[in-house]
Amino acid sequence: MPKTIAEINEKIRKGQAVVVTAEEIIDIVEEKGLKKAAEEVDVVTTGTFGPMCSSGAFLNIGHSRPRIKLGGGKVYLNRVPAYAGLAAVDIYIGATALPDEDPRNSEHPGEFRYGGGHVIQDLVAGKDVELTAETYGTDCYPRRRLETLINIRDVNEAILFNPRNCYQNYNVAVNLSDRTIYTYMGVLKPRLGNANYSSAGQLSPLLNDPLYRTIGIGTRIFLGGGIGYVAWHGTQHNPSVPRTERGVPKEGAGTLAVIGDLKTMDPSWLVGVSMTGYGVSLMVGIGVPIPIL
């Protein structure tokens, strides 16, 4: 008989739920058939772990004495610029932000040794991060400069918010030219010397739920080693692409915007990466459960 989500949740609470990965379910279906597998398995787990440039973190650092208005000023974390166009002590550090002094690709290919993704990983690892800020004074926020160390344990809030993760299907990158090129898909050798792809394949969350029947706003997920949620569809979400008879998109389609408490996350699942000749990013671990109803 079909199961309900409430029944599955009750089995989870009792420790009786049968949970397998998206890889394991393939062998179970081959051995027992689709109907029997659906009766026996309650949840299939999916996941992905790769560079996701549309990632970042909101921080509320708390008020200094005397108070300072970061909004409208300039803020740096370990010399990496953070966005300060918010309220007095709210900032956003993006995964691809670079220090002003980074040479970028002036000496091609650039190394991009440290950036926003690394700052986020350092924060999650519990390391002290240097904050420097310069701004204008007001009657209620007279301070104009701040240099201090912040730690994720001490800030009021630290929220990972990623506008686009978990791309549903993606391109394969090759290089037809006669020179090596450096891209967000990695280093591509000349004359079809290699082919790089970005997909978790049979583990991919949105390839296992191609029509978004169970994954949606409010879905509770594994995010960066902690608990997160699907907040909205991600940027560039395009569910209207051509699909196979089973609904699998033939090109890039759905995406997820995700959110979670950065203080509960693990630096093993949020990893700053340097991509030669391209820039910096953040590798994000995401796991999504799919109930078998």
Q: 254-268 pLDDT, tens per residue?
A: 999 999 999 999 999
Using the structure block, give the residue that is written with the tokens 């394949």. Answer: 201
What is residue 191's predicted lDDT score, i.e. its pLDDT?
98
What is residue 2's predicted lDDT score, i.e. its pLDDT?
81
What is residue 171's predicted lDDT score, i.e. its pLDDT?
87
Whether the predicted pLDDT of 230 surpasses 80: yes
pLDDT grade, residue 73 (50/70/90)? very high
140 noted as active-site residue: yes
CA distance 230 to 208: 16
CA distance 254 to 245: 17
Per residue in 123-158, pLDDT (tens digit) is: 999 999 999 999 999 999 999 999 999 999 999 999
Single out the catalytic residue among 1, 6, 140, 176.
140
Percent of the chain with pLDDT over 70: 100
Q: Report the pLDDT averaged over residues 105-119.
A: 97
What is residue 158's predicted lDDT score, i.e. its pLDDT?
98
Using the structure block, give the residue that is written with the tokens 């999650």. Answer: 124
pLDDT grade, residue 9 (50/70/90)? very high
Instruction: Name the residue among 149, 140, 130 with its Cα closest to residue 66.
Output: 140
